[in-house]
Amino acid sequence: MNELAITVIGRDRPGIVADVAEVLARLGANLTDSTMTRLRGHFAMTLICTGPAAAEVEAALAPLAAEGQLLATVREVTPDGQVPPAGEPYVMAVHGSDRMGIVAAMTRVLVDAGGNVTDLSTRLAGSLYVVLAEVELPAGVAGTLVDRLDRTAAELGVEVTLRPADPDLL
């Protein structure tokens, strides 16, 4: 069965999700993991689907894109890629005055400590810039990583916190 990575982005309007999901359902494309969110007035969808061939999905989404309001891409991906070993889950929160390079610098510190970012979102509200990242860290590195994050954040003039996000199993 084909596994497809699909992105759809366009000016936000009511009905984008329903329109795209209907096209996929009609083709028998099974929507598995996805994230869909509004980014500064644009609606962005990133989806993994299983089912039909990429060309078939692309052709079916073309009428939506033809109005010039949506940009859709479809490509076949390899199912179940290599998953890195699980680490300890943490959330990194960064906020401060917007400037170039905050995400680049802070995520580089995470990577250099062996961390793996699994989810990240940013928001710019006026001059306030906010980064929230889910990150898996190798056991025992969080303590020293906090110092490195603090140093980098100070250079950037932003605040950073790193907190455990381990779930309570009930």
Partner 1 sequence: MTGEQSGAYVGLGGWTPESLPVEGELRAVVSAPNPVLSRAGGVVDPTSEETVRLAADLVATMRVSPGCVGLAAPQIGVDAQVFAVDVTGHPKAVTVHGTFVLCNARVVEATRWKPGREGCMSVPDLTGDVKRASRLVVEGDLPGSGTSVRLVTDGFEARALQHEIDHCAGLLFLDRVAGAHAVYQRKVYL
Residues at the interface with partner 1 (CB under 8 A): 35, 37, 86-89, 118-119, 121, 134, 136, 165-170
22 vs 119, beta carbon nearer partner 1: 119
Q: Which single residue is written with the structure tokens 């860290």? A: 137
58 vs 95, beta carbon nearer partner 1: 95
Closest contact distance (angstroms) between CB of 18 and partner 1 is 16
Q: Are 43 and 23 in contact (CB under 8 A)?
A: no
Closest contact distance (angstroms) between CB of 27 and partner 1 is 24
37 vs 73, beta carbon nearer partner 1: 37
109 vs 136, beta carbon nearer partner 1: 136
Closest contact distance (angstroms) between CB of 152 and partner 1 is 25
Q: How far is CA 76 from CA 11, 54, 58, 98, 139, in A?
A: 25, 6, 11, 36, 35
Instruction: Supply 128's token pair.
Output: 């306030």
Closest contact distance (angstroms) between CB of 90 and partner 1 is 11
Instruction: Supply 10's token pair.
Output: 């366009």
Closest contact distance (angstroms) between CB of 119 and partner 1 is 7
Specify the DSSP element, H or E, that contains 133.
Answer: strand 128-137
3-state secondary structure 11-42: ECCCCHHHHHHHHHHHHCCEEEEEEEEEECCE
135 vs 160, beta carbon nearer partner 1: 135
Distance, CA of 112 to chain centre: 20
